[in-house]
Amino acid sequence: MQESTGAKIEKDADGRKYLSLYNGELTEGCFAKNMLKIKQSFPTLPEDWYDVFFERLKAKNIGDIRLTDAVNHVVDTCDFSKPTIAKFLNFDRKAEVFTYQEICRKVHDGDSFENYQRFEMNGKPYYRQK
């Protein structure tokens, strides 16, 4: 069983629970590499944009892998010459998580425990699809 650290379960408007698939730290090297890619892709961004961007990355605890995926996503999909910081910060990949009771209901309705991976957060068991 895996222990998920530094992550937090979020609920949507319908009460479903989600967990980001990303974790890890932001390193200086990864930040520099991705800032260069942003500067090359969006050369009209002002220099102070990068200061605010770095501050927000740290505040949101965005790590290397999520930053790299976000930068690649924005570079590939941005429809305008100046992306907002929010375009990068809002990029995430999430998995729906379930309690033991919710998995039991799914199994009762015909699903299988084999389709889910068990993990712990704060000492409590949760499940997500494999």
Whether the model pTM is above 0.85 = no
Q: Give the integer Cα–Cα distance in Å for 93 and 90.
A: 10
For residues 50 and 76, give the distance between their C-alpha atoms in angstroms, rounded to a whole number. Answer: 19
Overall number of domains in the chain: 2
Same domain, 11 and 50: no
* Cα dist from 127 to 8, 21, 90, 110, whole Å: 14, 13, 24, 17
- Residue (of 97, 125, 116) closest to 15 by Cα position: 97
What is the model's pLDDT at position 90? 95
- 54 and 34 housed in the same domain: yes
56 and 9, same structural domain?
Answer: no
User: 49-95: per-residue pLDDT in tens?
Assistant: 999 999 999 999 999 999 999 999 999 999 888 999 999 999 999 99
- Helix or strand or coil: residue 61? coil
Distances (CA, A) of 47 to 20, 56, 113: 30, 15, 51
What's the whole-number mean pLDDT along residues 28-39? 97
- pLDDT at residue 4 is higher than 60: no
Q: What is the pLDDT of residues 84-94, one digit of tens each?
A: 999 999 999 99
Cβ(24)–Cβ(64) under 8 Å? yes
What range does the domain containing 6 cover? 2-21+94-129
pLDDT of residue 6: 56
